Structures are given as structure tokens and as C-alpha cells.
């Protein structure tokens, strides 16, 4: 049995650059509920953004901005020392670019999900999370921030409440977890699940509200609003198809 409020599926999309394409956005889009669209700093470009926005609107998929550190070479997966005011400006610049594309196509940006190292940094450092919240809060009432759901979400929720920013808590089907609910670093063996059966099993356990078994013998219970499968992995499309079939349409 699944919980009464079915979990959403989200995916990071629009991460190509120029003629180089990453992922299978056109095939993935009909399977998800929320599209996290790259904003040009870690990946993406104006035409890629526009194509991805159009795909999302054509399939009735909620659009989220997916900003990151200015790190095209590192795909946004390297931490950078960015001062508070500059980070707020970098985020608003990226989100504003996507918002302009979306508004021109007749849609709206519903939420923000930082990418890669910035996402991990904001979950580890309250000062960085404050900069992200300030950036989001200044862009309009109701714009939500997608964050990592943990065993204890109270510290994150308390900070967000100071800025009046609603939160969407997410979990990952294709990543390994530490006991506190943080993600295991990608440099650690087994941090990224590569077997479709493992990804699907973890997704369904999260969707049912069941605890995840961890390698150290403990378990972790998460209550996410949304479930992510990374679009830049070879297994993404097959895994998403299997998860969507198991959850049913509109889950």
C-alpha cells in the first residue's frame, strides 16, 4: 500500500550544452511530475532551456529551476567559496533566466532545487542555506525550495520559516544514504546505485514510507514529498519506467 498522498517523481533535465546532449529528456518527461531544469551555470544553454521548458509544459510537468555553482567544466559538482551576497546574486540570475523562458512559453517556475555541490553545501552549512533561502524569498511569495529530506527535518524547516519559503523534501532512489539521512559522497564506492532493480526497490520503499536498510545494519526512515532519479545516468529511463509503472499514473 502507498500513503494517501502519492509521492512525486522528479528528474534533473536540460543538462546538455550546445550540440552535446545529456540524458533522454524527451523520453523521461512523460514519466515524471517535476522537472529540475538546468539554468546555464553547471549545464544548459538558452536553446536547451527553451526546448526543455516546452517539453515540460507539453506534458503538464511542474517546472523547477536547477541552479548551481558557475562550474561548467566540473558539472557543478565541485564546491566553490562564494561570498553570501554574490551567491544570492548568482542564484537570482540563474532562476531569473529560466523564469523568463518559462513565462514566455506561458508557464511558471514552481520551485528551486540547487544542483550538485551547492545542494550538498546548503544541507551541510546553515550559512549557505540562508543565502539560498534569501535568494528564493526575494523572487516572489510561494516559490518553494526543494531540499534533502532527512531523519530530522526540523533545523531546515526552522530556517526556511524565517524567510517564509515553503519546502519540498526529496529523497533519492539512486543514491546511498548515511545514517543521518545525508547522501554518501560520490567518491565513496557504492554511493551511486547503478542496478535498475536496486533503484526501483529503494524508490518503492521510500514511496511506501518504509525504512531503508543501511550497510551498517541500521535503518533510516524518510518522509519525502518527491523522489529523484538522476537523468544523467544510463539507467535513468529504464528505472523511471519501472517506478512509474509500479506507482501508477499521476502518483
Structure confidence by residue, pLDDT tens digits, 45-104: 999 999 999 999 999 999 999 999 999 999 999 999 999 999 999 999 999 999 999 999
Structure confidence by residue, pLDDT tens digits, 69-85: 999 999 999 999 999 99
Question: Is 57 or 5 the better-scoring residue by pLDDT?
Answer: 57
Q: Which domains does the chain have, with CATH numbers?
A: 8-247 (3.20.20.370)
Q: Quick check: 117 and 125 in contact, CB under 8 A?
A: no
| pLDDT number for residue 180 | 85
pLDDT of 213 higher than 70: yes
pTM of the model: 0.93
Amino acid at each position: 500500500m502507498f500513503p494517501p498522498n502519492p509521492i512525486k517523481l522528479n528528474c534533473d533535465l536540460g543538462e546538455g550544452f550546445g550540440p552535446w546532449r545529456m540524458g533522454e529528456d524527451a523520453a523521461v518527461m512523460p514519466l515524471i511530475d517535476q522537472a529540475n531544469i538546468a539554468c546555464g551555470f553547471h549545464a544548459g544553454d538558452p536553446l536547451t532551456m527553451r526546448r526543455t521548458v516546452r517539453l515540460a509544459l507539453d506534458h503538464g510537468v511542474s517546472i523547477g529551476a536547477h541552479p548551481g555553482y558557475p562550474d561548467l567544466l566540473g558539472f557543478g559538482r565541485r564546491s566553490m567559496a562564494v561570498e553570501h551576497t554574490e551567491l544570492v546574486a548568482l542564484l537570482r540570475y540563474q532562476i531569473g533566466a529560466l523564469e523568463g523562458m518559462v513565462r514566455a512559453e506561458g508557464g511558471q517556475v514552481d520551485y528551486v532545487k540547487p544542483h550538485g555541490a551547492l545542494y550538498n553545501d546548503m544541507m551541510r552549512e546553515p550559512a549557505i542555506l540562508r543565502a539560498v533561502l534569501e535568494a528564493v524569498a526575494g523572487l516572489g511569495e510561494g516559490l518553494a525550495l526543494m531540499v534533502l529530506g532527512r531523519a530530522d527535518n526540523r533545523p531546515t524547516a526552522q530556517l526556511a520559516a524565517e524567510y517564509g519559503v515553503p519546502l519540498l523534501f526529496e529523497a533519492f532512489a539512486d543514491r546511498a544514504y548515511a545514517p543521518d539521512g545525508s547522501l554518501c559522497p560520490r567518491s565513496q564506492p557504492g554511493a551511486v546505485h547503478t542496478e535498475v532493480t536496486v533503484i526501483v526497490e529503494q524508490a518503492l520503499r521510500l514511496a511506501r514510507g518504509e525504512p531503508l536498510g543501511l550497510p551498517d545494519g541500521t535503518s533510516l526512515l524518510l518522509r519525502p514529498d518527491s523522489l529523484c532519479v538522476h537523468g544523467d545516468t544510463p539507467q535513468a529511463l529504464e528505472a523511471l519506467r519501472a517506478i512509474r509503472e509500479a506507482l501508477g499514473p499521476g502518483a
